[in-house]
């Protein structure tokens, strides 16, 4: 009565002032100030969210808890008090982040990266056309068309990119899907159902199996209550909840159930102590939505490429601007020339080439179970140097499986392969048969219906994960469990509970006897046994055999396996006749002096392909770090099984030793250094200590980690210069997934939240698929280099005609529209076809590329394509140009300085070197013939350029000419397109081309052959003298 009187004051109307002041001290935010955080900056708020949850509501006494939250366990809150708190604290919901409008997102796609360079080019084209239109009559439309085409290229690729994006706005919607809609609350001593949004701190709620927990609650009553915390902590097993505070860490204690987790068994009553954004899930949601995303490696490379191209363009433009002034041009014409040179340097087709190449690779990866959401992530995976992998479902099969049996004083291996290709158990052992019978009968798991054609291990079953493992093991090795249960009907049962730690059932056997069977924690079962079954006979369970049992128990437990003990007893049929009523509340049957049958140990076994995949990662120089919410012993065992920790590695489990470990030579380095870090130890580590662990250990396992810790691990790797890939399937993984350079979610077991936060989804949840993705990512980076080298080399034969036009005043050798025909026509398919080129060598045997040194476009590539290949191509074009001019009477010496007279429409008597007169129309036709031939010459020399771009180091005879049929088709395509553009009636007139004689195709062929011979020789020298001058200056 005194307690009720004490608690009755919790309903006083003035109590909310005390409550509000207390909660302000705790950092509780009111509705209006939910994101104000007392004037903190965004960075400070984000840093707060990265810290571990610091609460003591689960540790304090019931009396103090009720006083703190002004509530009463029996009567709950009054409606009036709840309304006040709701008005002050806001609804129990997750606050959505500020959303960008679709227009803003689209504009970002249009005006970032490579698109910006194309927009600048388009603007300069429009400016040039506008100036010419204002100052002259009958202005050519070339600059206008070029500007329009550049703008269209940007808009089309921008729309394409926009459609591929738009994930961030859906992250919070996925969190909302996890929130329950209604809940049962006790107000004024009465039960009522309310919307979850109306729940406030201090409310007493009831939760039953099948419900989602409506807020963070402290459990005050529990009846077999279990929750699935896998989305929060990575725990694959349902966890029992009780009123007992078992751990300082709120994520580990048994008396707290968290917002949005699922209740799987029993029921409970609890008191709300955190709501909305303040809940653990709310903090994760806010952290995830507020985390900035890093610029992808390919985006950085494209930005670097833009800087190079811009530098080259502006450098050339300014040089010839000055030259034009020196040569006597007025400054307006010099500016027009400057604009023309800058525009000529813009590779119009490259944006489309890069986008299509990445799309083709994304489609190829999707066929291999890697679904790419963000195109740039295709290459990011190839750049990855660290993979932080979850354990359950990624490295393992995501199903508890019996791995070992101990009976007849021996440990027996059980087949854990996914296809059951291993050895079967000996069915002739009487003890083994007895163990299987106990495991099958003392078990509540059942197979679901309509699965006759499904393999046993893949059948769906109801019940606890461990019991499902036992069910499948017995079914696989002995026979139908359903038939076994039918032949041995159950008479009584004591279900498993966390206090007793055993399960017991009594059955009538086929021969009319009564059999008691028991399973549970091995130490509890062994304590109840006086005999042990050896070779089918009961023997005294004395010190010797008990020692053997304990040794086996420790060995199996040391493997990270969950071990269960099994026992049985045949009851006297005279004492327990068929009509005997067994009382399970107050047992009227023996529960001691049982016969110990054996042990069965379970684990979620590694996927078959994972060890080989981890080994490939090692060969490729990629560090694989396991980050899991599971127990350190289990995590270490799986890490050793899959090769994340080598068998002979020295393992540091003391965080101080792990942090202090330094790189050294000698025996320790040969053995390798591994570290297994518990989440509690990680919590106490400084940033420098964490960085030391990550730097000085090649093999690392982080166990029992929280979402914030996963994020800190990712940031630590990034501080060390690593490109980080993160795998995950739960809500707890979403901050790390978003912060990583590439987040990889699980397609089968992954939550919607994790899928939305990730850049890539593994459709088969298999780590081995990541390695396939890494290989594809590395290959596309190499092939993009080849595509860019091929595309840029034609820039020189496109730019130099304009430069010669300015510097030497010759008739223009190549028109603007013709340049577009090359960049967006003949070059496009061949450039894209290089995406299909196979790897030159085993790309998974080399180290990850250094983002600071191994660039997509570097000085060596520019040296080769601009200073060597491009010059040769330009030479072929000019040779063709001067040949045609010479054949028609204009010798090279006569062309220099002739431009003004050539372009003078009133001059119809221009004499050539042979004394012939040429009118304006004749000169125009000859110029268009030369421009067409120059265009054809570029196509011809691009044949050689395409072939040499197939390989950066290998000889073409090694790489093979026929290994890429798409490339061969590309050569045919560009040739056919060149013929079509040049000879199609009407079209050639619009493009200012002339149908040329077959002989004018031939002048470019010697240059084509020379380019091929030159580059084959260059690569021969490069291979013979690794690290020499040729490699330093030309190997890109």
333 given a catalytic annotation = no
Shortest CA distance to 631 belongs to which of 697, 676, 594? 676
Ranges of H-type helices in 327-372: 331-344, 350-367
Separation between Cα atoms, residue 375 and residue 852, nearest integer Å: 22
Provide the β-strand partners of residue 226.
240, 265
Strands 562-571 and 594-603: antiparallel
- Three-state DSSP class for 738? helix
Separation between Cα atoms, residue 352 and residue 114, nearest integer Å: 10
- Write out the two tokens for 902: 């050539």
Which strand (E) or helix (H) includes residue 315? helix 297-326
* DSSP string across 119-179: HHHHHHHHHHHHHHHHH-SS--SHHHHHHHHHHHHHHHHHHHHHHH---HHHHHHHHHHTS
Separation between Cα atoms, residue 488 and residue 509, nearest integer Å: 5
Shortest CA distance to 672 belongs to which of 647, 691, 692? 647
- Three-state DSSP class for 1002? coil
* DSSP string across 538-594: EEE--HHHHHHHHHHHHHHHHTT-EEEEEEEEEEPTTTS-TT----TTTT-S--SSE
Q: 534, 408 in Cβ contact below 8 A?
A: yes
Shortest CA distance to 944 belongs to which of 971, 919, 921, 973? 971
Ranges of H-type helices in 569-706: 610-619, 632-642, 655-660, 667-671, 679-683, 687-696
Active-site residue identified among 89, 277, 390, 759: 390
Provide the β-strand partners of residue 716.
none
Q: 406, 599 in Cβ contact below 8 A?
A: yes
Shortest CA distance to 253 belongs to which of 843, 680, 600? 680
Q: What are phi and psi of 1018, to 5 degrees?
A: -60, -45
Which residue carries 């398919």 as its tokens? Answer: 829
- Write out the two tokens for 349: 């087709």
Shortest CA distance to 608 belongs to which of 800, 851, 397? 397
Q: What length does the chain have? A: 1036
- Three-state DSSP class for 765? coil
Q: 313, 798 in Cβ contact below 8 A?
A: no
Q: What are phi and psi of 447, to 5 degrees?
A: -75, 145
Write out the catalytic residue numbers: 390
């Amino acid at each position: 009565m005194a307690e009720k009187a004490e608690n009755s004051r919790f309903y006083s109307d003035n109590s909310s002032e005390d409550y509000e002041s207390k909660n302000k001290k705790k950092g509780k935010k009111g509705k209006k100030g939910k994101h104000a955080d007392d004037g903190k900056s965004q960075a400070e708020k984000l840093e707060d969210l990265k810290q571990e949850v610091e609460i003591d509501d689960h540790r304090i006494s019931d009396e103090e808890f009720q006083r703190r939250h002004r509530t009463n366990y029996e009567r709950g809150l009054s409606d009036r008090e709840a309304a006040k708190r709701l008005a002050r604290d806001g609804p129990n919901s997750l606050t959505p982040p500020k959303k960008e409008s679709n227009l803003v997102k689209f504009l970002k796609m249009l005006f970032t990266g490579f698109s910006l360079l194309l927009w600048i080019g388009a603007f300069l084209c429009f400016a040039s056309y506008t100036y010419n239109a204002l100052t002259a009559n009958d202005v050519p439309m070339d600059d206008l068309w070029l500007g329009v085409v550049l703008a269209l290229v940007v808009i089309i690729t921008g729309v394409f990119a926009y459609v591929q994006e738009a994930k961030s706005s859906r992250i919070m919607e996925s969190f909302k899907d996890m929130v329950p809609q209604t809940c049962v609350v006790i107000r004024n001593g009465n039960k009522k159902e309310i919307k979850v949004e109306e729940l406030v701190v201090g409310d007493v709620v009831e939760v039953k199996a099948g419900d989602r927990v409506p807020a963070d609650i402290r459990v005050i009553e529990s009846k077999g209550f279990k929750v699935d915390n896998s989305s929060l902590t990575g725990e694959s097993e349902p966890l029992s909840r009780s009123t007992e505070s078992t751990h300082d860490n709120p994520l580990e204690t048994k008396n707290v159930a968290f917002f949005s987790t699922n209740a799987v068994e029993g029921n409970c009553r609890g008191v709300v102590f955190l709501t909305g954004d303040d809940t653990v899930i709310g903090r994760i949601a806010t952290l995830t939505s507020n985390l900035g995303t890093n610029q992808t490696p390919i985006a950085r490379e494209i930005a670097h490429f833009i800087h190079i191209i811009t530098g080259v363009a502006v450098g050339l433009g300014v040089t010839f601007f000055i030259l034009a002034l020196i040569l006597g041009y007025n400054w307006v014409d010099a500016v027009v020339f400057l604009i023309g040179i800058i525009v000529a340097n813009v590779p119009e087709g490259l944006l489309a080439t890069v986008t299509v190449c990445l799309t083709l690779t994304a489609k190829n990866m999707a066929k291999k179970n890697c679904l790419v959401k963000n195109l740039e992530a295709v290459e990011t995976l190839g750049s990855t140097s660290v993979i932080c992998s979850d354990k359950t479902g990624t490295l393992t099969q995501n199903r508890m499986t019996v791995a070992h049996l101990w009976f007849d004083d021996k440990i027996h291996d059980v087949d854990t392969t996914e296809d059951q290709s291993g050895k079967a158990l000996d069915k002739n052992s009487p003890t083994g048969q007895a163990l299987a019978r106990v495991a099958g009968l003392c078990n509540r798991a059942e197979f679901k219906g309509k699965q006759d054609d499904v393999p046993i291990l893949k059948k769906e079953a109801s019940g606890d994960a461990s019991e499902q493992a036992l069910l499948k093991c017995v079914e696989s090795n002995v026979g139908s469990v359903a038939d076994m249960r039918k032949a041995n009907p159950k008479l009584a049962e004591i279900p498993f509970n966390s206090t007793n730690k055993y399960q017991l059932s009594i059955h009538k056997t086929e021969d009319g006897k009564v059999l008691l069977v028991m399973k549970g924690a091995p130490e509890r079962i062994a304590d109840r046994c006086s005999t042990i079954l050896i070779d089918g006979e009961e023997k005294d369970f004395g010190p010797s055999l008990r020692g053997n049992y304990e040794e086996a128990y420790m060995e199996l437990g040391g493997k990270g396996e969950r071990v269960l003990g099994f026992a049985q007893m045949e009851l006297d049929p005279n004492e327990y006749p068929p009509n005997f009523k067994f009382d399970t509340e107050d047992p009227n049957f023996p529960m001691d002096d049982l016969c110990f049958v054996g042990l069965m140990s379970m684990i979620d076994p590694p996927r078959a392909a994972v060890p080989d995949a981890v080994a490939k990662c090692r060969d490729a120089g990629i560090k694989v770090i396991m980050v899991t919410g599971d127990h350190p012993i289990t995590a270490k065992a799986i890490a050793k099984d899959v090769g994340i920790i080598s068998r002979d590695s020295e393992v540091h489990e003391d965080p101080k030793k792990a942090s202090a470990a330094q790189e050294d030579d000698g025996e320790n380095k040969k053995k390798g250094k591994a570290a297994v870090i518990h989440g509690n130890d990680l919590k106490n580590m400084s940033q420098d200590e964490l960085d030391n662990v990550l730097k000085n250990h090649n093999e690392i396992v982080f166990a029992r980690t929280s979402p914030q810790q996963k994020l800190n691990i990712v940031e630590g790797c990034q501080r060390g210069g690593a490109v980080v890939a993160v795998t995950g399937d739960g809500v707890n993984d979403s901050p790390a997934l978003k912060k990583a350079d590439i987040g990889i979610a699980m397609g089968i077991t992954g939550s919607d939240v994790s899928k939305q936060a990730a850049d890539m989804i593994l459709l088969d949840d298999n780590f081995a698929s990541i390695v396939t993705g890494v290989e594809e990512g590395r290959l596309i980076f190499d092939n993009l280099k080849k595509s860019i080298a091929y595309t840029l080399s034609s820039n020189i034969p496109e730019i130099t005609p304009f430069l010669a036009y300015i510097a030497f005043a010759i008739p223009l050798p190549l028109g603007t529209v013709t340049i577009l025909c090359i960049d967006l026509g003949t070059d496009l398919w061949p450039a894209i076809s290089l995406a299909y080129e196979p790897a030159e060598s085993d790309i998974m045997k080399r180290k990850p590329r250094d983002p600071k040194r191994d660039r997509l476009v570097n000085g060596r590539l520019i040296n080769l394509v601009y200073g060597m290949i491009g010059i040769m191509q330009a030479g072929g074009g000019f040779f063709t140009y001067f040949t045609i001019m010479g054949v028609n009477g204009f010798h090279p010496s006569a062309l220099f300085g002739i431009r003004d007279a050539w372009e003078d429409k009133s001059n119809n008597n221009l004499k050539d070197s042979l004394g012939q007169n040429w009118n304006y129309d004749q000169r125009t036709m000859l110029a268009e013939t030369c421009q067409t031939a120059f265009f054809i010459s570029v196509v011809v020399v691009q044949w050689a350029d395409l072939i040499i771009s197939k390989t950066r180091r290998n000889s073409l005879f090694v790489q093979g000419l026929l290994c890429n049929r798409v490339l061969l088709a590309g050569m045919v395509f560009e040739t056919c397109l060149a013929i079509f553009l040049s000879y199609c009636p009407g079209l050639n007139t619009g493009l200012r081309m002339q149908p040329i004689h077959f002989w004018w195709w031939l002048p470019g062929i010697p240059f084509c052959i020379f380019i091929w011979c030159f580059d084959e020789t260059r690569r021969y020298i490069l291979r013979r003298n690794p690290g020499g001058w040729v490699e330093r200056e030309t190997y890109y």
